């Protein structure tokens, strides 16, 4: 797929697109962003993502003057150029161009939209488990968390983890509370006979309010499967049998190792696969309903 970039409504081939040198997102990280995924041209959980984008904008006082309809039109237009089977969509809103570190005058916000074809995440039992490396977070926030372009710590620490054979980070607070991965939320599962506990760190831990995480909690609750939002510490890790991460692009992915602790998430009889099927069933229903709705117009 040829990649395109949309800059303030203008579409350009990726290699021809030029970012203003004085854009505040580039100079200072003064921007917010949102990542969507789309299957067969249908954006997954679009409204949830737009709600989170506007919440991020409110937290950092970055104007987003475009309506949801305009943003939706832009994304649909970009998707129509190549019609990818599955796509990652990144929308970046910068506060504007120029000005000192703390702007003294009103700036015009800039919007950048990137669409990229990616493989649809399919995971099979006994394969595809990822390995996580715990790392103490250098600047953990406990207040409202927004999606911003500040990923330097994640990138540098992920590179170190990769050299040790790990696939991703699992951030940990100074007092040993397990929080979230580099770009995903995490769920832990323990099993004692017929009793299963599903736990995920709460928003109060300083995690990003993941859209896929929220959807999983909703689906489990509707299915009357207990899920607890609570603090999970590194000392508890040995009692967990399974874990999986959730994100808008990877959806639900099993974890096979955290540091030296092996997990059984990829086994055929793991609880994870029941949750995986529950989410995939919901996703199929949403895609089918969207196609049926489009056919009426």
CATH of the domain at 240: 3.20.10.10
pLDDT digits (tens, 9 = 90+) for 46-70: 999 999 999 999 999 999 999 999 9
- pLDDT at residue 141, as a whole number: 62
Q: Which domain holds residue 89?
A: 4-117
Q: How far is CA 289 from CA 102, 255, 282, 296, in A?
A: 47, 31, 11, 11
Instruction: Judge whether 125 lies within some domain.
Output: no
* Residue 71 in tokens: 């943003």
Residues 11 and 113 in one domain: yes
pLDDT digits (tens, 9 = 90+) for 222-275: 999 999 999 999 999 999 999 999 999 999 999 999 999 999 999 999 999 999
Q: Give pTM, 2 decimals.
A: 0.92
Number of domains in the chain: 2
Of 60, 92, 117, the residue that ends a domain is: 117
- pLDDT at residue 145, as a whole number: 63
Of 51, 83, 117, the residue that ends a domain is: 117
- Which residues of the chain fall below pLDDT 50? 1
Instruction: Judge whether 68 lies within some domain.
Output: yes
* Residue 77 in tokens: 């237009």
- pLDDT at residue 151, as a whole number: 83
- Picking from 141, 236, 154, 221, the residue whose alpha carbon sits closest to that of residue 188 is 236
Contact criterion met (CB below 8 Å) for 3 and 14:
yes
Residues 47 and 193 in one domain: no
């Amino acid at each position: 797929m040829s990649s395109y970039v949309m800059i303030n409504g203008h579409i350009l081939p990726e290699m021809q697109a030029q970012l203003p040198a004085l854009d505040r997102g580039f100079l200072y990280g003064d921007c917010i962003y949102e990542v969507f995924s789309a299957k067969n041209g249908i954006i997954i959980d679009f409204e949830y993502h737009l709600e989170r984008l506007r919440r991020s904008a409110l937290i950092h006082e970055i104007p987003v003057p475009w309506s949801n309809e305009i943003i939706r039109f832009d994304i649909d237009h970009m998707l129509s150029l190549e019609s990818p089977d599955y796509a990652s969509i990144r929308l970046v809103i910068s506060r504007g161009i120029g000005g000192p570190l703390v702007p003294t005058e009103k700036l015009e916000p800039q919007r950048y939209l990137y669409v990229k074809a990616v493989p649809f995440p399919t995971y099979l039992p006994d394969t595809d488990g990822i390995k996580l490396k715990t790392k103490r977070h250098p600047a953990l926030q406990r207040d409202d968390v927004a999606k911003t372009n500040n990923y330097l710590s994640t990138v540098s620490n992920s590179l170190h983890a990769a050299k040790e054979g790990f696939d991703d980070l699992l951030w940990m607070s100074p007092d040993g509370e397990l929080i979230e991965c580099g770009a995903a939320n995490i769920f832990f599962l323990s099993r004692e006979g017929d009793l299963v506990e599903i736990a995920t760190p709460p928003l109060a831990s300083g995690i990003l309010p993941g859209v896929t995480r929220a959807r999983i909690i909703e689906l489990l609750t509707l299915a009357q499967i207990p899920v607890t939002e609570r603090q999970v510490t590194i000392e508890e890790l040995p009692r967990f049998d399974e874990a999986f991460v959730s994100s808008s692009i990877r959806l639900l992915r099993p974890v096979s190792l955290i540091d030296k602790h092996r997990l059984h998430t990829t086994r055929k009889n793991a609880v994870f696969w029941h949750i995986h099927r529950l989410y995939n069933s919901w996703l199929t229903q949403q895609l089918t309903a969207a196609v049926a709705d489009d056919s009426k117009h």
